[in-house]
Structure formats: C-alpha cells, structure tokens
Amino acid sequence: MPDTYDLVVIGTGPGGYVCAVRAAQLGLKTAVIEKRSTLGGTCLNIGCIPSKSLLYASHAFEDASHKFKDIGIGVSPKLDLKTMQAFKQKGVDGNVKGVDFLMKKNKIDVHYGAGTITAPGKISVQREKGNATEITARNIVIATGSDVARLKGVEIDEKRIVSSTGALELSKVPGKLLVIGAGVIGLELGSVWRRLGADVTVVEFLDRILPGMDGEIARQFQRLLEKQGMAFKLGSKVTGIDTSGKTLKATIEPASGGKAETIEADVVLVAIGRVPYTEGLGLDTVGVQLDERGRIKTGAHYNTNIDGIYAIGDVIAGPMLAHKAEDEGIAAAEIIAGKAGHVNYGVIPNVIYTYPEVASVGQTEEELKAAGIAYTVGKFPFTANGRAKANDTTEGFVKILADAATDKVLGVHIVGPEAGTLITEASITMEFGGSAEDIARTCHPHPTLSEAVKEAALAVDKRAIHM
C-alpha cells in the first residue's frame, strides 16, 4: 500500500469502479473501498443485473407458455424457480468477477470494509472484524450510491413486505403481489412476477404511471401492461398494512383522501423511489454539505465544498441510473487528472426493460410545452414495421420531437420491442446536434426494428413511406 494514494474511491458501484479504472488509465495511483463482500454496488449485486436476468428468464417463460404455440412450437413449460434464481445468480457472479478482474488489471488496490472520512485526505476502513485501516489520499471520490426509500408505517421485512432486494429473491411465486409505486422498479419486477403467475396490482400515488416519462408513451404503455393482466390503482396511497394474518391486508385510500378499501396480498413490494446513501461516511465531521434531499452538493466539477473531496452517482443530484453514474465517474477521474471531463445531462437515455421496452432521451412533449418551445412531432407504429410484423411484436410506436424552426432533434420516446437498443441512435444524433432529417436520410438496414425510427423521422416532415 503506498503512503498516499492519488485517488481513493469510496463505493464500487458503476460510478465508483468506472471512476477508479479511468483514474488508473490516466496514471493515478488508485484504491477503492467497498463495504459489501463483492464489488459492483447496487447495480451488479441487487439492481440492474439481477433484475434484467429475471426479466429475460420470465419473458422466455411467458413466450414458451403463450407465444411458442403460435409459432408452431409445441411445449408445456414448467417453472423451476430455483433454477431460474440460480441462472440470475450466475449472471451476477459473472459481472462481479469482471469488476474484480478490472481492479487487478488496472492495479487498483481494493480495501474491503466501511469507509469513513476522518479528515480531508484521510479515510478509515473498518472491516466487519478487526482493527480499522487508515488510508491517506490526495483526492477522495464518494460513490456510495443510494438505498431504498421507506414508506412511513410500512416495515420492510424482505420476506412478505419487500423492497426490490427481497423481490429479486422470492423463493415462491406469490399468489397476489401488491406493488406500491408505478415507477421503474414496480413495473419491471411487477412484470417478472406476473409472467411467472402472480396476480399483480400496482398502487400509484399520482394519476399516471412513470412520472417524468412522456405522457402519451406512458398511457400507451399502461394499456399494454393492463392487456397483459397487470391491474392499476392510480391516484391512491397505501396508508397501512395489517401483517397479523396469513395474508397481508393493505389499506388503500384515494391520494386526496376519502373512503378506504382493503386489498389482500401474499407479498407487498415497496417501490416508491430511492434515497442517497451517506450513512457512516463522516460527512458531518469533515463538513461536506448536503442539499435539502440529503444528496451531496457538488459543483460543475463534481467537487464538494471541501477541497479534494468529490462525489458522483446516485449520491448526488440527477437521475439514479447506472450509466449516468459511470459517465460521472469518468468525468470526475479526468477532472482530477487535470483533463476536461464532462457529462451532457441533456442526453441521458432512460430505459425500462419490460415487454415491450420503454426508452426515452431528451425532452418530453410536456417539457417542451412548459418551456414554450415550438416543436414538430413524427410518430411511427411498430404495426407498420416489417420486422415487427414478421416477429409478431407490433406493440408500441416511436415518437420523435424536433425543433419547429431548425428540425434539431429535441427528444425521442419509444415504447416497443427492443426500444432500449433503438434509443442509442437517437442519443448519438442528439450528441451531434443532428436533425430529424439527418436520421431520415441515413440508410437503415432492412428488415430491422430501427426502420421504425427512420420512419418516425420521415414523419416529422409528414413523409413516412410505410404509413
């Protein structure tokens, strides 16, 4: 261990480990501190990766149960949840090992234990057992991520009342699953368990699902989820859960108050958001400032108010997304190494990995209206896309919003098959300041789902071909 590291990163989620790798590439002697027993943070251990494995596996189960016969494949699928959970764990293990490898390859020291900043440049690392180790560093990046937001009066036991962490670990398909919160976690994990046989009801405080997502896309997506069998109670709140009986009894009231009703469930998933995680970091001692929502306050260079202490990822403001954390990690490492790191917050894609997927980048119609920006809209449904028709995956549409005066792409929103992959051409167009015409004039391979993006771009100028 060197006397002083150039950089110590606390937390090894996608923000922290990527920051460490970039710093090592730039020649900084770097270490990471992680209090879990494995690297990779929320995303790799209990977030993005295991949820995507279960979404993939449960989608395959649903296809085998309902779609295969239409394709001419006769099977009688039987769910083996234990093996499905093992499949998920294999994906997690593979990814976590990958981060181990990256640390070794880049000669980054890994210190397991909880990191506490005792003074600027000084960190103490406490393992579960034994004495704390003291580490010194010229620069510290805090990348401690986020934790589950709790609902007052509802205690999460991770067995019957679960957060996303418990919902990824269920050993039995619940007969009835009540989801609190129609956000990303509620809809992704609600989809997993519905596909595997649960009767799923989602209770949402607001009068719409997926706040922040383009309203037209969200409405269409809700209709598709309802068609699949998911039930929604919008404009409603859970005010308490009676856990005394064999089944849980949740009391639900209209958000604005009124007559209560009871919904019974075997499992309740609390998915009402996540909160920044700063516990035990010693921020009070060193005087690092937080904002009104408990996030670490940072300047344009990810600097906190204390010299040499930076913060990135879920623990600071902005969307709580792995790729946002990664890009901030790269930018912070570059800034610390004296380069010009930068993240374009106007072009951070957002994907929901359900079936169909939902993906968006840039501004929504609601945001453009609120900002008084004149825009044109081009839409194209997957029902008119050759590949979608061939695969019988025709749900959804592509919507492109372009500046009315300049045709510059301002936002792209997709609900449909592989939306998460399709969105990247929109992101790249926006990074280059491109126009709808640029997408429309780019030759897209046939037959691909990406032709729906091209057609939506043509539709901005009212000249879609296949409509």
By CB under 6 A, name the binding residues for ligand NAI. Answer: 151, 180-186, 188, 203-206, 211, 237-238, 271-274, 319-321, 351-353
Residues 28-57 binding ligand FAD (CB under 6 A) are 33-36, 41-43, 47-48, 51
Would the CA dihedral through 190, 231, 349, 143 be positive or negative? negative
446 classed as catalytic: yes
Task: Check residue 112 and report its DSSP letter.
Answer: E
User: Tokens standing for 280?
Assistant: 């035990």
For ligand FAD, the binding residues in 85-114 under the rule CB under 6 A are: 114
Q: What's 371's DSSP letter? A: T
Binding test (CB under 6 A) with ligand FAD, winner from 164, 236, 360, 429: 164
Out of 151, 248, 325, 335, the only residue in the binding site for ligand FAD (CB under 6 A) is 325
Q: Catalytic: which of 66, 342, 413, 446? A: 446
Report the nearest approach of ligand NAI to the CB of residue 52 (Å). Answer: 8
Residue 238 or 426: which CB sits closer to ligand NAI? 238
Q: Compute how many residues bind ligand FAD; rule: CB under 6 A.
A: 36
Alpha helices in 117-173 (DSSP H): 164-167
Query: Would you tell me the crossing angle of helices 451-460 and 419-431 to the nearest 10 degrees?
Result: 50
| 166 forms part of the interface with ligand FAD (CB under 6 A) | no
What angle, 0 to 180 degrees and rounded to 10, lies between the N-to-C axes of helices 14-25 and 81-105?
30
CA-to-CA distance for 215 and 295, rounded, in angstroms? 28
Q: Which does 434 bind (CB under 5 to 8 A by kind): ligand FAD, ligand NAI, none?
A: none
Nearer to ligand FAD among residue 322 and residue 440 (C-beta): 322
* Shortest distance (Å) from residue 219 CB to ligand FAD: 23
The mark string for 352-381 relative to ligand FAD (x by CB under 6 A, - otherwise) is -x----------------------------
Instruction: Name, in order, each residue with C-beta under 8 angstroms of 353's C-beta and a sequence gap of 6 or more.
Output: 51, 52, 55, 188, 420
| The dihedral formed by the CA atoms of 77, 83, 89 and 91, expressed in degrees to the nearest 10 | -40
| Residue among 281, 343, 449, 456 that touches ligand FAD (CB under 6 A) | 281
Region of 13-21, 203-211, 217-225, 382-390 interacting with ligand FAD (CB under 6 A): 13-21
Q: Does 145 bind ligand FAD (CB under 6 A)?
A: yes
Report whether 19 contacts 39 (CB < 8 A). no
Render the burial of 233-264: b for 16+ CB within 10 Å, e for the rest: bbebbbebbeeeeeebebebeeeeeeeeeebe
Helices (H) and strands (E) in the chain, counts: 15, 22
Distances (CA, A) of 121 to 132, 263, 371: 16, 53, 43
Give the separation between CA 257 and CA 242, rounded to whole angstroms. Answer: 20
263 contact choice in ligand FAD, ligand NAI, none (CB below 5 to 8 Å, kind-dependent)? none
Note whether 7 binds ligand FAD by CB under 6 A.
no
Residue 143 interacts with ligand FAD (CB under 6 A): yes or no? yes
CB of 59 to ligand NAI, least distance (A): 14
- The site partner of 36 among ligand NAI, ligand FAD, none (C-beta below 5 to 8 Å per kind) is ligand FAD
Helix axes 184-195, 48-62, angle to 10 degrees: 40
Integer Cα distance of 441 and 377 in angstroms = 17
Residue least distant from ligand NAI (Cβ): 183
34 makes contact, choosing from ligand NAI, ligand FAD, none, with CB < 5 to 8 Å by partner type, with ligand FAD
310 touching ligand FAD, by CB under 6 A:
no
Side chain identity at residue 406, one-letter code? T
Q: Three-class SS of residue 324?
A: helix
Residues annotated as catalytic are 446
